Chain A
Amino acid sequence: MNHNDHDHDHDHDHDHQGDDKVHAYYQILGQALKELLIEKGVVSASEIRTAMERRDTITPANGAKVVARAWVDGDYRARLLHDANSAVAEFGIEMPTTHLVALENTPAVHNVVVCTLCSCYPRDLLGLPPAWYKSKAYRSRVVHSPRAVLHEFGTDLPETVEVRVHDSTADMRYLVIPMRPEGTDGWDEDALRSLITRDTMIGVASI
């Protein structure tokens, strides 16, 4: 069993030796719970396996398909902004329990998404969130120091651009539509998709 030694959302003011024992215990506990729940028929091994495989198939490529279409097709863009769940369903992406809202970056407004209370994230479009998105550093700081946080990601915006932070506190999930870069006229969707990264759809990066 690999010991999980990357305590990315972990304070650094603890007794680390004692914490190592704690981390090892929880790894074992996770395995114990899995075995017991399978034996009791609460979950099956194949259900867990299927869920893991399904997670692995969802990557930011999903989100990039949606954004690239919005860039080239004004009607699609309008549908995406009006009812994002229906618009992403056109790509076979179903979000039965959460409501998607698309946020369009413009020359005047730059959007950035966080969940200060937990780790709400448009998983069906972007996959599992990166460690930093779930970290205490990002969750605590991006609401009150968004420009400093964006700077850490290499994104510097002029004072004339409104930085708009979206704190996902309820059942809505947010997807940023980054601005289409200059000089991409005539590019097809495949070529455009290659420009669209996960971080641009969270809003910590621009293209």
Chain B
Amino acid sequence: MRGPHDLGGLDFGPIDPDEHPLTFWEKQIDAIRAVIGAKKIVSTHENRRTIEQLGHDVYDTLNYYERWTAALQRQMIDKGILTQDEIDQRVAEVRQRLLETGEMEVP
């Protein structure tokens, strides 16, 4: 009985040695997490726990910094810092903005 993060002893196949340099987006999420941690808003222990509690399907579907983003959303709602409604509204605005500026293709 293991959590989605507890991988030791399983076999996920050959290792992809490509460096995959971080994108700006990934660096930004890393930095937000660093600031949130340094300000003691969410500790590393708490962040790990939130990521583990995303569950198998979410953990397996999202890549590394997407998990951090999902965890950040959960933590901000749990702590009463943001609401789901305002997040949803802002997501819609950002999506619209990106479509208008052509910075994002519609998936």
Direct A/B contact, Cβ within 8 angstroms? yes
For B51, the closest partner residue in chain A by CB is A118
> Per DSSP, are chain B's interface residues mostly helix, strand or loop, or mixed?
helix
Tell me the count of chain A residues lying within 8 A, CB to CB, of chain B.
Answer: 64
Is chain A's binding surface mostly helix, strand, loop or mixed?
Answer: helix
Tell me which residues across on chain A come within 8 A of B66, comparing CB atoms.
4, 22-23, 26
Given contacts A1-B98, A52-B28, contact A118 B5 (CB under 8 A): yes
Q: Is A29 an interface residue (CB 8 A)?
A: yes
In the complex the two chains form, is B29's CB within 8 Å of A138's CB?
no
Do B11 and A140 have beta carbons less than 8 Å apart? yes
B7 touches A43 (CB 8 A): no
Known: A28-B98, A118-B5, A153-B17. A23 touches B81 (CB 8 A): no
Q: What is the count of residue pairs linking A and B with beta-carbon distances less than 8 angstroms? A: 192
- Give the chain B neighbours of A167 by CB distance below 8 A: 8
Contact of A4 (CB < 8 Å), options: B23, B48, B82, B95? B23
Q: How far is the CB of A119 from chain B (nearest CB, A)?
A: 7
Are B34 and A55 in contact, with the CB atoms below 8 A? yes
Per-position binary interface string of chain B over residues 62-89, scored 1 when its CB falls under 8 Å from any chain A CB and 0 otherwise: 1111100110110010000110001100
B63 touching A10, Cβ below 8 Å: yes
Give residues of chain A (125-149) contacting chain B, Cβ–Cβ below 8 Å: 128, 130-132, 134-141, 143-145, 149
B30 CB to closest chain A CB, in angstroms?
6
The answer to the question of B16 belonging to the interface, with a C-beta cut-off of 8 Å to chain A, is: yes
Name the B residues within 8 Å of A56 (CB-CB). Answer: 27
A3 to B11, CA, bound (A): 28
For residues 147 through 199 of chain A, which have their beta carbon under 8 Å from a beta carbon of chain B?
A: 149, 152-153, 167
| Contact between chains at A3 and B105 (CB < 8 Å) | yes
